[in-house]
Structure 1
Amino acid sequence: MRFLRRSLGGLFLFALTLALLAHAGRMLWSAVETRMNAEPRSFAQQERVAGVRGLTIAPGRTRPELVVFGELLSSRTVALRAAVGGTVQDVAETMVEGGAVTAGELLLQIDPADAESALARARVDLEDALSEGREAERALELARDELAAAEAQAVLREQALTRQRGLQDRGIGTAPELEAAELSASTAAQAVLTRRQAIAQAETRIDQAATRRARAEIAVAEAERDLANTRITAPFDGQLTEVAIGPGSRVAANEQLAVLVDPDALEVAFRVSATQYARLLNEEGRIAGAPVRVRLDVDGLPLTGAGRVVREAAVVAQGQTGRLIYAALDRAPGLRPGDFVTVIVTEPPLDEVATIPAAALGADGTVLAIGPEDRLESVAVEQLRTQGDAVLIAAADLAGREIVARRTPLLGAGIKVRRLDDTPADPGADPDAAPEMIAPEMIALDPARRARLVAFVEASDRMPAEARARLIEQLGAEEVPAEIVDRLEGRMGG
């Protein structure tokens, strides 16, 4: 009985479960059928509007700048060499690496004993030559006197011969007497010829004495020059480098002792490509006179200088390309030969161009202009130059139009945009563009302010010694870049 009751209860529960499942399936089928047969609902479509920064194109006259790298050189550099050999006797205190010297300053003294002895011998030889010349002149005077006497005697002998011939014609004289007179006249004539030959020899002796004296004078001049060359002096104001000599050293003729460099006569050598060189040419086809600025960052403090292009290399070196150009610097405080600097060359001006951020130019050479109804249009432009994070374009056809200052992959032709409030009105105000390198503003410092700045630099242990020395030298000038003063005073305040 219990078994039957439990069986009927289980059968009831099973039937109830099947009924519930069937009801749930029917409800699900009804919902799906209703959804499939229902009319589709429509939602209002809204066009996507992108926010952009606008930039108004204003064509004008611009002078592009070419940025390259170059090395500073000194236009006045000379190797000091020993003209004569010998032992180094004295060396100036400034004859050290980096020593500052003035024009005419004695740098080195080679032992002059040998040169003085050679000069003394040359002077003795000169005195001997002068004595020989005086003796030759006296001998010539005596020879002339002897010639005069011989000529007088020959005249007398000729007169005696004439008388003897007269006597012989009158029959008074004898033949032996006539022969004797003729022989005497002949002997007198021979004596005259001998004296003339003596005069010629005396004149030749005088010429030889003059030649000997000239050689002796040349020897004396050479000896004096060798003696003077034992003193090595500075040909101009500058600083010494590559000093390789000291007291007691033995030097040979033409041996290099040091190199004298004028640190104020600076020029920068830099290489440009053939294309860049062509852009730098003026209307006359020359590059000389183009303005140049140089810049060297030392621990965040810039050292700057300015000048102009003076010349270019005559030929292209083997294995090189482009052109090697030299520019003379008018003023470059703190810079030294050998520095590797950034060179900014101002190119000839371009008309009807505009400066835009590089991000505004697409890879296909187009920009996105904001057209009617604030929709973008793709406009092809001609790129003329690259200036850091900005580019120069030919903007005659875009004058007054507004373009997108920064393109993104989501922007394209036909997309509607809205202008952002922080859109820069000038491409130069683009916050992402690199600041333009301009000539630094110079200010004059009073003694107290200069002393504080110098003391702060000397006490700085984070700055290299060479950079510290250059900065101190720059602070010692009459005018100092205002940027450097502001940075130093900012650090002092911190």
Structure 2
Amino acid sequence: MRFLRQSLSGLFLFAVTLALLVYAGAMVRDAIQDRLSQEARVPPQRERVFAVNVETAEPRTVAPILTAFGEVQSRRTLELRAAASGTVIELSRDFEEGAHVRAGDVLLRIDPADAQAALERAESDLMDAEAEGREAERALALARDELDAAQEQADLRERAFQRQKDLEARGVGTAAAVETAELAASAARQAVLTRRQAVSTAEARVDQAQTRLARARIARDEAQRRLDDTVLRAEFDGSLSGVSVVEGGLVATNERLAQLVDNNALEVALRISTPQYARLLDDQGNLAPLPVTVTLSVLGAELEATGVLTRDSAAVGEGQTGRLIFARLDNPRGFKPGDFVTVGVTEPAVENVVRLPATALAADGAVLVLGADERLEILPVTLVRRQGDDVLVRGRGLAGREVVRERSPLLGPGIKVRPLRLSGDDAQSAPAEPEMLELTEERRARLVAFVENSSGMPDEIKSSILARLQQPRVPAQMVERLEARMGG
């Protein structure tokens, strides 16, 4: 009985559970059918309006700035080499690395003993040559006097011979006397020939003496030059670099001693692309003398100089591209050869262009302009130049239109916007002011001490940084760079 009762109870519970499952399934089916039979209700949507910054496109004439990087180099650099060999017996106090010298200053002297002795020997040989020349002149004068005497004697003998012939013709003289007079005249003529030969020999001696005198003078001048070569002088005003000699050292001929650099005759060499180079040419195809601005930034301090383009390289160079051009610096105060600088070249003015932020131009070369009912429209434009964060564009129908300054993926044609108009001054806003810091006295003193003890920093930059550190507010970028170099 107990087993039957438990079996009936289980069967009853199973039947109840199955009935509940069937009822739940029916309820779910009725709910789904009821939901599907209802019509979809769409809530009313409101058009989204975006706020955008717009700027009125105003065509104008703009002189683009071509920005490139270049290296400062000297237009006049001279290698100082030893013209003579020997021991350095005197060295100028200014003959050291970085020292400034003036034209004509004596830089060093090499022991002149051998050169001085050679000069004295050459002067002695010159004195001998001069004495030989004087003796040859006197011998020539005596030979000419002897020739004149011999000629007079020959004339007398000839007249005597003629007299004897006349006497013989009148029957007074004898043939023996005529023959004797003829022999005497012949001997006199022979003496004249001998004296002429002596005069010719004396003249040849004079010529040889003059040649010897010329050679002696050449040897004397050469010895003088060798003596002068023992003294090294500065050819022009400049600074010394690469000094490699000390007093008492032994130098060889043509040994490199130092390099003289003219710091007032500097130029900057910069490499640009061929299309950029083409924009810098004049009507004749030559590089135009355009103005340039050279900037050197060191630890937040900037050195700036102006100049003008002068020439371009004759060849591209093996393994190079573009063009290498040179610009002469007018007042290169603080610049040194080897500085890596930023160069801005003012290109010829471009007419009828609109200056816009670079964010206004899409990759497809179009901008968004404000149309009717404050909805956006696409306007194709032509990119003329890129100027930092701005672009210079030109397009049909662009003048006077309001252009969206910042493009975003949410903006497109037909989108309704709320324009935020900027004034002309705001549109061409100036660059942001650098962040400034107020230093504590301890921090300021630590930075000043570091700058004053920096040996590798040019004096002009050091003075500029020290002047900025004395101000109440100091550029944060300069402080960060100084502390980075300090190691903390």
Scaled by the length of structure 2, the TM-score of the pair is 0.86
Q: Distance in 2 between matches of 1:475 and 1:486?
A: 6
1:150–1:41 distance in 2 versus 1, CA, 3 Å: same
CA contact (8 A) 1:74 1:266 kept: yes
Aligned residue number for residue 354 of structure 2: 354
Q: Distance in 1 between matches of 2:196 and 2:452?
A: 96
Q: Distance in 2 between matches of 1:348 and 1:487?
A: 42
Aligned residue number for residue 199 of structure 1: 199
Matches within 5 A, 1:54-133: 54-133=54-133
Matches within 5 A, 1:374-385: 374-385=374-385
Aligned residue number for residue 467 of structure 1: 457
Q: Secondary structure at 1:219's aligned position in 2?
A: helix
Of 15-24 and 383-392, deviating more is 15-24
Q: CA deviation at 1:11?
A: 8.3
Aligned residue number for residue 446 of structure 1: none
* Structure 1 letter corresponding to 2:75: S
Residue deviations 1:264-300 (CA, integer Å, cap 9, x gap): 2211011111111001123443324211111222112
CA contact (8 A) 1:88 1:110 kept: yes
* Structure 1 letter corresponding to 2:131: S
Of 138-147 and 69-78, deviating more is 138-147
Q: Secondary structure at 1:69's aligned position in 2?
A: strand
Q: Secondary structure at 1:325's aligned position in 2?
A: strand
Aligned residue number for residue 444 of structure 1: none
Unaligned runs of 5+ in 1: 436-453, 477-483
Of 346-355 and 307-316, deviating more is 307-316
Q: Secondary structure at 1:223's aligned position in 2?
A: helix
CA contact (8 A) 1:376 1:417 kept: yes
* Structure 2 letter corresponding to 1:296: L
Aligned residue number for residue 325 of structure 1: 325
Residue deviations 1:220-267 (CA, integer Å, cap 9, x gap): 122112111111011112111111212222222222211001122211
Q: Distance in 2 between matches of 1:87 and 1:143?
A: 54
Residue deviations 1:298-340 (CA, integer Å, cap 9, x gap): 1122222211111111222233222111111112322210111
CA contact (8 A) 2:452 2:462 kept: no
Aligned residue number for residue 236 of structure 2: 236
CA contact (8 A) 1:59 1:395 kept: no
* Structure 1 letter corresponding to 2:474: R
Q: Distance in 1 between matches of 2:132 and 2:445?
A: 75
* Structure 1 letter corresponding to 2:457: A
Q: Distance in 2 between matches of 1:260 and 1:455?
A: 38
* Structure 2 letter corresponding to 1:112: P
Aligned residue number for residue 185 of structure 1: 185
Percent identity over the alignment is 51
Aligned residue number for residue 414 of structure 1: 414
Q: Distance in 2 between matches of 1:277 and 1:376?
A: 38
CA contact (8 A) 2:380 2:395 kept: no
Of 300-309 and 3-12, deviating more is 3-12
Aligned residue number for residue 247 of structure 2: 247
Of 256-265 and 246-255, deviating more is 246-255
Residue deviations 1:440-488 (CA, integer Å, cap 9, x gap): xxxxxxxxxxxxxx99975235995423634136689xxxxxxx84896
CA contact (8 A) 2:54 2:402 kept: yes
* Structure 2 letter corresponding to 1:261: V
CA contact (8 A) 1:95 1:243 kept: yes
1:249–1:486 distance in 2 versus 1, CA, 3 Å: closer
CA contact (8 A) 2:53 2:419 kept: yes
CA contact (8 A) 2:448 2:469 kept: no
CA contact (8 A) 2:102 2:234 kept: yes
Q: Distance in 1 between matches of 2:285 and 2:417?
A: 47
Q: Secondary structure at 2:473's aligned position in 1?
A: helix
Q: Distance in 2 between matches of 1:492 and 1:404?
A: 34
CA contact (8 A) 2:468 2:474 kept: no
Q: CA deviation at 1:349?
A: 0.5
Residue deviations 1:365-416 (CA, integer Å, cap 9, x gap): 1111111112111111111112222221115631111111111122222222
* Structure 1 letter corresponding to 2:182: E
CA contact (8 A) 2:381 2:396 kept: no
Q: Secondary structure at 2:271's aligned position in 1?
A: strand
Q: Distance in 2 between matches of 1:360 and 1:317?
A: 39
CA contact (8 A) 2:266 2:337 kept: yes
Scaled by the length of structure 1, the TM-score of the pair is 0.85
Of 143-152 and 200-209, deviating more is 200-209
CA contact (8 A) 2:74 2:263 kept: yes
Unaligned runs of 5+ in 2: 434-443, 480-488
Matches within 5 A, 1:216-235: 216-235=216-235
CA contact (8 A) 1:168 1:178 kept: yes
1:237–1:468 distance in 2 versus 1, CA, 3 Å: closer
* Structure 1 letter corresponding to 2:197: Q
CA contact (8 A) 1:274 1:322 kept: yes
Q: CA deviation at 1:166?
A: 2.3
Q: CA deviation at 1:41?
A: 2.2
